[in-house]
Amino acid sequence: MKRTFADLHLHANLKKPEDARRLIAKAAKLGYGLIAVPTPPETGRDEVARLKEVCGEVGVDFVSRLDLRPRSQGELLRLLRKYRRRFELVCVVCESKEIARQAAKDRRVDLLSFPSLDWRKRFFDCAEAELASSGLAGLEIDVRLVLVLEGRARVRLLSSLQREVEVAREFHVPIVLSSGVVELMLLRMPREVAALAGLFGLGETEAVDAVSRVPAALVQRNRLKLRSGFVAPGIHVVREGDDC
Amino acid sequence: MRRVKRRYLLLRFEVERVPGEREFLDAVWAAVGKLYGEFGASLTGLALISYDAAEKTAIVRVTLEALRMVRASLASITCIEGAEAAVHVMAVSGTIKSLHKRQQHLFSDV
């Protein structure tokens, strides 16, 4: 079966629809079949519908995604309660250890992101991975920084990523590779993203899966959950009414 | 002696200002050197086979073992001669003949 490549973190600028359209069209041209664009929670339904339409025009599947940057555990829980069912994908940007731990153990969180360049503020360690593996969260790695950084900063980032990949592998935490790009010129083909992942220790098959099977499975699982008849994993309402 | 297996890569580059053959090759070597160092670059067996500035395509030859390294290096190119750039691997093949066939097929689709 042919792989569907996914980029779950395409930073299309929603305020500039033409730029967003160009970015999505280019992603489609480069071979992506599944795209997630982070939208702020207050985004109108018509705006999301427009994005979906653009994706439909170029033949890619659109996934609605919410990026949460909470400042406390309480805020994270409140935001998850409020928005989880409105988005197909929820990513938590972990800027403190407290948030990272809460996000890892919460089964409503799909992706954990650690954007900091400072290794002390990247909280994906063994404890975090253990929590994430018992929850459902995966580790998202954006390759954008690998492209834009140079010299010592890139070396430091790569060594942090190598450690995180090793930890994720040990605790069976799924790894998702995304672009995280805003700029057209930084968008790369899925196999190129997979090749770049070799720099932080992902094997060839593992890396290709991280841009195809892993994100696709994550989206499929969530779509099933968001269906009206969903009861629990493996159980869904087939029919209801008096004649059942 | 073991025969060295090679692969031919069809590249397409996106640039604001089309570079010359020399500048393009320098950018590729620089990217390989930056990511893998001189020792890594020596393992790639990198050679430019053809360069078409009008079509913005090039064909390079690399050793099979270094294919992933070269792919990552090409992906890491963000500028050539000070102009924003991106280099994409459109096809990989074991022979130039089949690569040309794929090139015709690829570009007839566009």
Q: What is the ipTM of this complex?
A: 0.89
Does residue B1 lie within any of the structural domains? no
**Residue B25: alpha-carbon gap to chain centroid:** 8
Structural contact between residues B101 and B34, judged by C-beta atoms closer than 8 angstroms: no
What is the pLDDT at residue B70? 96
What is the pLDDT at residue B98? 92
Inspect the interface and report whether the beta carbons of B75 and A195 lie closer than 8 Å: yes
Residue of B nearest to A26 (CA): B14
Does residue B81 lie within any of the structural domains? yes
Hey, is the C-beta of A193 within 8 angstroms of any chain B C-beta?
A: yes
**DSSP assigned state of B55:** T
Does residue B38 lie within any of the structural domains? yes
SS (H, E, C) chain A: CCCCEEECCCCCCCCCHHHHHHHHHHHHHCCEEEEEEECCCCCCHHHHHHHHHHHHHHCCEEEEEEEECCCCHHHHHHHHHHHHHHCCEEEEECCCHHHHHHHHHCCCCCEEECCCCCHHHCCCCHHHHHHHHHCCCEEEEECHHHHHCCHHHHHHHHHHHHHHHHHHHHCCCCEEEECCCCCHHHCCCHHHHHHHHHHHCCCHHHHHHHCCHHHHHHHHHHHHHHCCCEEECCEECCCCCCCC
**Min Cα separation B2/chain A (Å):** 24
> Range with the lowest mean pLDDT among A2-6, A163-167, A213-217?
A2-6
Provide the domain count of chain B: 1
**Which domain covers residue B75, as residue numbers?**
6-109
Residue A77: both structure tokens together = 């829980």
**pLDDT surpassing 60 at residue B110:** no
Does residue B88 lie within any of the structural domains? yes
Helix (H, G, I), strand (E, B) or coil at B63: strand
Structural contact between residues B86 and B78, judged by C-beta atoms closer than 8 angstroms: yes
Q: Which residue has the higher pLDDT, A132 or A17?
A: A132
**Min Cα separation A192/chain B (Å):** 6
How do strand A89-93 and strand A111-113 relate by DSSP bridges? parallel
What is the pLDDT at residue A244? 64
Confidence at A239, pLDDT banded by 50, 70, 90? confident
Tell me the percentage of chain B whose pLDDT exceeds 90: 77
Tell me the percentage of chain A whose pLDDT exceeds 70: 99
Q: What is the CA radius of gyration of chain B?
A: 14
Domain segments of chain A: what residues?
A: 5-224
Q: Does domain A5-224 have CATH number 3.40.720.10?
A: no
Does residue B49 lie within any of the structural domains? yes
How many angstroms separate the CA atoms of A194 and A202, rounded? Answer: 8
pLDDT digits (tens, 9 = 90+) for B74-86: 999 999 988 899 9
Q: Chain A contacts of B89, Cβ < 8 Å?
A: 189, 191-192
Residue A171: both structure tokens together = 């605790």
Inspect the interface and report whether the beta carbons of A192 and B35 lie closer than 8 Å: no
**Min Cα separation B105/chain A (Å):** 16
What is the pLDDT at residue A120? 83
What is the pLDDT at residue B104? 84
> Range with the lowest mean pLDDT among A48-52, A127-131, A188-192?
A48-52
What is the pLDDT at residue B85? 93
* CATH number of the domain that residue B55 is part of: 3.30.70.3250
What is the pLDDT at residue A3? 87
**pLDDT surpassing 60 at residue B109:** no
